[in-house]
Chain A
Amino acid sequence: MSDASSAQTDERPAKPRPAPIPDHDSAPYWKALHEGRLLVQKCLDCNEFQLYPRDRCLACRGPVAFVEASGRGTIYSFTVIRQNYARPFRDWIPYVVALVDLEEGPRLMSNLVECDPDAVQVGMAVEARFEVVSDDAGIALFAPAK
């Protein structure tokens, strides 16, 4: 079976990280990340926070607005991916996929960077790192909190 070893023999140019295609719900979220800001949605009726961006509050179906998040959170769970044939991911193996609980409450998926995959722990404090991935979108990666 080909796994990490085949990445080294793959002579094609490295494929870039995939970029999201913003839609009506998500465009402000991706645009803010492009500018280095992580947004969450807050309900104008019940004050609940949520991700991913939707047209309504998940708790009370009320109207929502984007607010800036601190970018700090903790690892709810994680895995170290050691097999993935899809490019560009196979070039990154091993890498950490983590579910991060933000200080404000919402949970999101991301990659943990600046960290030895074998040193990751559930509950670890992390903070956002921003990366531009297209003309209208950025993403939030996470690293151990300084």
Chain B
Amino acid sequence: MSKGRGDGRRAVIVGVATSDYPRLPEMSEHAVHGQAADRALADAGLTMADVDGFASTGFFPMYATGVAEYLGLHPTYYDETNAGGASFEVLVEHAAYAIECGAAEVVLITYGSIQLSQMGRRLGTGGGGGAGFAPGPAIYDALWGNTLVGSYALAARRHMHQFGTTPEQLASVAVTMRQHAASNPQAQEREPITVQDVVGSRLVADPLHKLDCCVISDGGGACVVTTAERAADLRKAPIYLLGAAHSTTHHMNISAMPDLTVSPAAQCGPLAFARAGVRPADIDVAQLYDSFTITVVLTVEDLGFCKKGEGGAFVENGGLGLGGHLPTNTDGGGLSACHPGMRGMFLIVEAVRQLRGEGGATQVPEAKIAVAHGTGGMLSTGATLILGNEEP
């Protein structure tokens, strides 16, 4: 990532894959990891025998250790940092540091979830609303029946109040994601929708409607990070990690978030751009965490694609579509394609595919620089990766 550090080892992404998705009733969660891992290694032209570093994360301590056990790996570098939806961007950043300092040669990073098959449709929109699980300070927000959707709704309401953002502007994010999903045969929802469909769908937590919320899916993905030197002998041209950064605003208590209209992207975004030596205007294609429509509006502002408060105008009228200001979530995103709980891996996979020209019907012509930005928790964590297909 950084020129001239150590002996000049540079971290690159050489393999990516998604597992089957969005419904996997006949697979275990660990088998989803395995399928994605096999495909990502094959994409790179590597095998499990080449892997000396492993990273993953889930909802239990020592989760990655368990996945490594299942896959038969005995890595000498491992990482299971959990930053919610931003986890996989953080794991790639950490892997890059490990590779650049010589602590690992080939790091495999996997994600797998069978949330939809395991939990039915109850989790994403209604879950997180109980108080029983809340240890320590989490109790201060857990007593009131707030939900995960409710937390993002609080941010959306405040953004509307401060900047005049409209439900129709938020809805346009969902409409554009659905347009992209129509070109993705695996996408969970592919039927075209209109702004009126979104604002006419039932309210889950005002002002967020059902179609302002991501789908709930099974699925996973994997990527392989190694050195540029090693990549020279591999199947695909390397994708360079130009810059990366992550940050937090709070944990589970959204009452502790200093400003509901400013996400962690406001801190880690500019840092990642500075480390990469590029500007938002240099980005050809974006993969932005879209748990909810408001998440995308906050993220385009905080990453610097428009001014604070102007995100609503930026995303409307196809601003995030092919040919718009910022082609975003070219696979259909979490709003339409697949959201198994921690979607960050999908952002990385799609960013790499776009930079390789493997984007199919939603390929952004001559895409050279991409951003993948994950958002986790309740706007709690953010992590930005700037990727490019040319050696910096």
Using CB atoms and an 8 Å cutoff, list the residues of chain A in contact with chain B: 1, 3, 17-18, 20-21, 23, 25-26, 51-52, 76-89, 92, 95, 97, 99, 107-111, 117, 122-123, 139
A82 touches B129 (CB 8 A): no
User: What 18 new A-B contacts, CB under 8 Å, besides A52-B137, A108-B140, A117-B206?
Assistant: A1-B121, A3-B126, A20-B143, A21-B139, A52-B140, A77-B260, A79-B150, A80-B206, A81-B150, A82-B202, A83-B205, A85-B129, A86-B129, A89-B130, A97-B145, A97-B146, A99-B260, A109-B140
Chain A residues lying within 8 Å of B122, measured Cβ to Cβ, are: 85
How far, in whole Å, are A87 and B141 apart by their CA atoms in the complex?
A: 16
How far, in whole Å, are A108 and B203 apart by their CA atoms in the complex?
A: 24
Known: A108-B255, A122-B157. A97 touches B149 (CB 8 A): no
Query: Which range contains the number of B residues in contact with the other chain?
Result: 35 or more
Which B146-182 residues have a C-beta within 8 angstroms of A? 146-147, 149-150, 153-155, 157-158, 161
B140 touches A97 (CB 8 A): no
Chain A residues lying within 8 Å of B144, measured Cβ to Cβ, are: 97, 109-111
A18 touches B146 (CB 8 A): no
Using CB atoms and an 8 Å cutoff, list the residues of chain B in contact with chain A: 121-122, 125-127, 129-132, 136-137, 139-147, 149-150, 153-155, 157-158, 161, 202-208, 253-256, 260
Chain A residues lying within 8 Å of B206, measured Cβ to Cβ, are: 79-80, 82, 117
> CB < 8 Å: which of B146, B153, B161 contacts A109?
B146
How far, in whole Å, are A146 and B3 apart by their CA atoms in the complex?
A: 63
A84 touches B145 (CB 8 A): yes
How far, in whole Å, are A117 and B205 apart by their CA atoms in the complex?
A: 11
Known: A52-B253, A80-B206. A86 touches B153 (CB 8 A): no
Q: At the interface, is chain A mostly helix, strand, loop or mixed?
A: loop
A82 touches B205 (CB 8 A): yes
The 7 closest A-B pairs by CB, nearest first: A89-B145, A18-B131, A79-B153, A86-B130, A84-B129, A77-B158, A80-B206
A109 touches B255 (CB 8 A): yes
B154 touches A77 (CB 8 A): yes
B380: min CB distance to chain A, Å: 15
How far, in whole Å, are A122 and B206 apart by their CA atoms in the complex?
A: 13
A-B contact pairs, 23 of them (CB 8 A): A18-B131, A18-B132, A18-B143, A20-B139, A25-B137, A77-B157, A77-B158, A77-B260, A79-B206, A79-B208, A82-B202, A82-B203, A83-B126, A84-B129, A85-B127, A86-B126, A97-B145, A97-B146, A99-B260, A109-B254, A110-B144, A122-B158, A123-B161
A86 touches B154 (CB 8 A): no
A15: min CB distance to chain B, Å: 10
A81 touches B139 (CB 8 A): no
A122 touches B150 (CB 8 A): no
B20: min CB distance to chain A, Å: 25
Known: A77-B158, A82-B205, A83-B125. A99 touches B147 (CB 8 A): no
B80: min CB distance to chain A, Å: 28
